[in-house]
Structure 1
Amino acid sequence: MSAPVLITGGAGFIGANLADRLATDGEHVLILDNLSRPGVERNVAWLKRRHHDRVAFHRADIRDIQSCADAVAGAAAVFHFAAQVAVTTSLEQPLEDFSINVRGVLGLLEILRLRAPRTPLIFASTNKVYGDLAAVPLHLQREAYRPVDLSLALQGVNEKQPLDFHTPYGCSKGAADQYVLDYARSFGLSTAVMRMSCVYGPRQMGTEDQGWVAHLLRRVHAGEPISIYGDGRQVRDVLFVEDAVAAYVAAWKQIGAIAGQAFNLGGGPANAVTLLDVIAQGEALFNRRARVFFLPWRAGDQRWYVSDARRVRAALALAEPLPWREGVTRLAGWLAESEPRVKIWAEA
């Protein structure tokens, strides 16, 4: 049997999709996850049904050093997704957020340094490392926030943007991001960082705090009220999960060329949407009106963020990302399949 690929947090949305891709490609996969996110156990069951012995699962916390060391032993590569992922939770429990996001990654890096220095690690970071971008002048254009700077509006934020950690979540993910890069610089580990924008798609157990595209679609379908923090005109670039997975796989295969580097990973300006855009698409797909309520802005929320992902696409020879309307329709189709009460309207 070939050496397994370790995916920490592999029961989660992106991790499960990555595990599916790797197992389909013939790799053996080991998932390490504590199943703390409601519903993700269904992802593990789905993977086992599809791939049987090609996917193994070990329930453990990322802070459990011995479990992590056992999982890393003999691994062909490590994809690190295990994290505390919600800004709101980080504000309520900053010590827990730090413990998972910083202590967890540092422990994993130390295991690699001491026991498996040639094993590559790809880390899932976030655009939140750039802060709230409050210094970027914005204006409303066609019901969406846009930078006044035309070049920024057309290209997005690149990796030269200064780091500016806001909220405990931004600080913990930012610190982990920097530790991963420094272990390449200081100890010669083969690590790379993906600073993701909003990834969406099938198997996303979206909530109000994280995974907002799936959350909004579910709410529209169920006729449940939607709380929008701000005015709904805030802009994000969204990336379909298959495109994100393709980038992670390519990063592993080309780790020798990209080690020690951080890349912005998102849908780019062509897939920049507002929350209201996604709600409107959900209304068309499910043929019902959404009930939307507006609440005050939350701490650290960016009114506009769009990734300049040209560098990662060039470095890894990635295809252009799936257009967002097609991706949202695919996500709605998965909802229809996994939740039979969901009806998709063909004319949408």
Structure 2
Amino acid sequence: MANYLIVGGAGFIGVNAAEHYAQSGHAVTILDNLSRQGTANNLKWIQTEHPSVRFVRADIRTDQTLLETEIAQCDVLLHLAAQVAVTTSVVDPRTDFEINALGTLNVLEAARCAPRPPILLYSSTNKVYGAMEDVPVICEGNRYAYQNLPHGVAEEQPLDFHSPYGCSKGAADQYVRDYSRIYGLRTVVLRQSCIYGPHQFGNEDQGWIAWFLRCALLGNPVTIFGDGRQVRDVLDVGDLIAAYDAAIKNIDRSSGRVYNIGGGPANTLSLLETVDLLEKTNNSKLDHSFSDWRPGDQRIFVTDVGRAWRELGWTPEVSPKHGIARMRTWMAANLEAVAQAFHT
């Protein structure tokens, strides 16, 4: 049994990870400031299902002493706390920086000063690659496609931070890498694509599959920013946690490394295809309209997951069709809580 500390553990990914590690017999502590919509619901659920899960209310920007105390007691640290929306970062870049960059530095310093520094996994983002304007993109029907990247974007793609969010997450990404090089911490950076699954409340700015599904179930219209042909590789949260497990299990190989983690070319959806899939799933039309592109939006991002397969033995297993169906079951059963989270 190991001691797991999940920073940002009341969020969508965090609460799924907490459930997984609690079910596996590990001691789990969630550290979260409960600032995001839906986190209070997630915390109530996980503590009902798994009363052994500890909760520590703290903010990674300001509560350094508490961070140091908790990190000193853990064997594995999942750093998932973040400001996650590009649009929010444009409106309030200072808060975005303080959470994503400064907050991550605080976590790293607490880990560095621990008597026995834990394994540290960092939840990064594909946004560190920017708009990739030098990569040729073609239009194929209702989706965009890479002209010359059949396997998607690999870790060798140059970094190019776009938007305050890209800058803050990119800075944190590089700090996590460097703390392995300079201080010998066992850190792993996971540049995640679009993750979806149960306990994701989603909103118009972030978590688009959850947002589209929520609107479909509530009969609300959806605004598509751009032309709807934007493509993302999507990954079920269970597959993501399997990637965490693989990185931890193979820490002698993964320490100091960066991995692109997503659904890969076999698990891609355009926004228009997602609308069509949800209409078929719900047997009803999803009212949608179009608006201008948002800052930092990529026409396409598809992850090359080859390094994770070669070094960690990890590959996605859940198809979008089956994963979204599972997510729909959860959301339909919790629709009142989902609606209340956004004051609908």
Normalised by the length of structure 2, the TM-score is 0.95
Question: Is the aligned partner of 1:276 residue 2:257?
Answer: no
| Aligned equivalent of 1:201 | 197
**Following the alignment from structure 1 to structure 2, what is the Cα–Cα distance between the partners of residues 271 and 319?**
11
| Aligned equivalent of 1:122 | 121
| Aligned equivalent of 1:336 | 332
| Aligned equivalent of 1:90 | 89
1:261 partner letter: R
**Following the alignment from structure 1 to structure 2, what is the Cα–Cα distance between the partners of residues 39 and 300?**
25
**Following the alignment from structure 2 to structure 1, what is the Cα–Cα distance between the partners of residues 143 and 233?**
12
- TM-superposed CA distance for 1:58, in Å, is 0.7
Cα contact 1:219–1:226 (8 A) shared by 2: yes
SS of equivalent residue, structure 2 residue 209? helix
| Aligned equivalent of 2:297 | 301
SS of equivalent residue, structure 1 residue 239? strand
1:309 partner letter: V
Q: How has the CA–CA distance of structure 1 residues 139 and 319 changed in structure 2, closer, same or farther, with 3 Å as cutoff?
A: closer
Query: Once the two structures are superposed, what CA deviation does each residue of 1:202-242 show, in whole Å capped at 9, x if it has no partner?
Result: 11011011111011011112221111110111000000010
**Following the alignment from structure 1 to structure 2, what is the Cα–Cα distance between the partners of residues 200 and 248?**
16
- Equivalent position to 2:222, from 206, 219, 226: 226
SS of equivalent residue, structure 2 residue 70? helix
Question: Is the aligned partner of 1:156 residue 2:156?
Answer: no
SS of equivalent residue, structure 1 residue 146? strand
| Aligned equivalent of 1:285 | 281
- TM-superposed CA distance for 1:37, in Å, is 0.6
**Following the alignment from structure 2 to structure 1, what is the Cα–Cα distance between the partners of residues 87 and 316?**
33
Query: Once the two structures are superposed, what CA deviation does each residue of 1:3-50 show, in whole Å capped at 9, x if it has no partner?
Result: 521000000011110110000000010000000011111111111111
**Following the alignment from structure 2 to structure 1, what is the Cα–Cα distance between the partners of residues 329 and 113?**
46
| Aligned equivalent of 1:28 | 27
**Following the alignment from structure 1 to structure 2, what is the Cα–Cα distance between the partners of residues 47 and 310?**
33
Q: How has the CA–CA distance of structure 1 residues 337 and 109 changed in structure 2, closer, same or farther, with 3 Å as cutoff?
A: same
Cα contact 2:213–2:328 (8 A) shared by 1: yes
Question: What's the % identity of the aligned pairs?
Answer: 48
- TM-superposed CA distance for 1:171, in Å, is 0.2
1:258 partner letter: S
- Equivalent position to 1:243, from 233, 239, 246: 239
- TM-superposed CA distance for 1:181, in Å, is 0.1
Q: How has the CA–CA distance of structure 1 residues 26 and 99 changed in structure 2, closer, same or farther, with 3 Å as cutoff?
A: same
Q: How has the CA–CA distance of structure 1 residues 290 and 189 changed in structure 2, closer, same or farther, with 3 Å as cutoff?
A: same
| Aligned equivalent of 2:167 | 171
Matches within 5 A, 1:175-194: 175-194=171-190
Matches within 5 A, 1:132-151: 132-149=131-148
**Larger CA deviation: 177-186 vs 330-339:** 330-339
**Following the alignment from structure 1 to structure 2, what is the Cα–Cα distance between the partners of residues 148 and 112?**
43
- TM-superposed CA distance for 1:334, in Å, is 1.1
**Following the alignment from structure 2 to structure 1, what is the Cα–Cα distance between the partners of residues 273 and 69?**
45
Normalised by the length of structure 1, the TM-score is 0.94
| Aligned equivalent of 1:61 | 59
SS of equivalent residue, structure 2 residue 50? helix
**Following the alignment from structure 1 to structure 2, what is the Cα–Cα distance between the partners of residues 169 and 116?**
33
- TM-superposed CA distance for 1:253, in Å, is 2.1
Cα contact 2:119–2:187 (8 A) shared by 1: yes
- TM-superposed CA distance for 1:313, in Å, is 2.3
1:94 partner letter: P
| Aligned equivalent of 2:100 | 101
- TM-superposed CA distance for 1:318, in Å, is 2.0
Question: Is the aligned partner of 1:327 residue 2:323?
Answer: yes
- TM-superposed CA distance for 1:321, in Å, is 2.4
SS of equivalent residue, structure 2 residue 13? helix
Question: Is the aligned partner of 1:5 residue 2:4?
Answer: yes
| Aligned equivalent of 1:345 | none
Where does structure 1 differ by over 3 angstroms across 4 or more consecutive aligned residues?
none
- TM-superposed CA distance for 1:119, in Å, is 1.2
Query: Once the two structures are superposed, what CA deviation does each residue of 1:256-286 show, in whole Å capped at 9, x if it has no partner?
Result: 2110010000000011110111111111111
**Following the alignment from structure 2 to structure 1, what is the Cα–Cα distance between the partners of residues 116 and 123?**
19
**Following the alignment from structure 1 to structure 2, what is the Cα–Cα distance between the partners of residues 13 and 236?**
19
- TM-superposed CA distance for 1:319, in Å, is 4.3
**Following the alignment from structure 1 to structure 2, what is the Cα–Cα distance between the partners of residues 328 and 20?**
19
Cα contact 2:41–2:337 (8 A) shared by 1: no
Question: Is the aligned partner of 1:47 residue 2:43?
Answer: no
Which blocks of at least 5 consecutive residues in structure 2 are unaligned? 339-344
Which blocks of at least 5 consecutive residues in structure 1 are unaligned? 343-348
**Following the alignment from structure 2 to structure 1, what is the Cα–Cα distance between the partners of residues 199 and 117?**
32
- TM-superposed CA distance for 1:341, in Å, is 11
1:7 partner letter: I
- TM-superposed CA distance for 1:187, in Å, is 0.7
Aligned length: 337
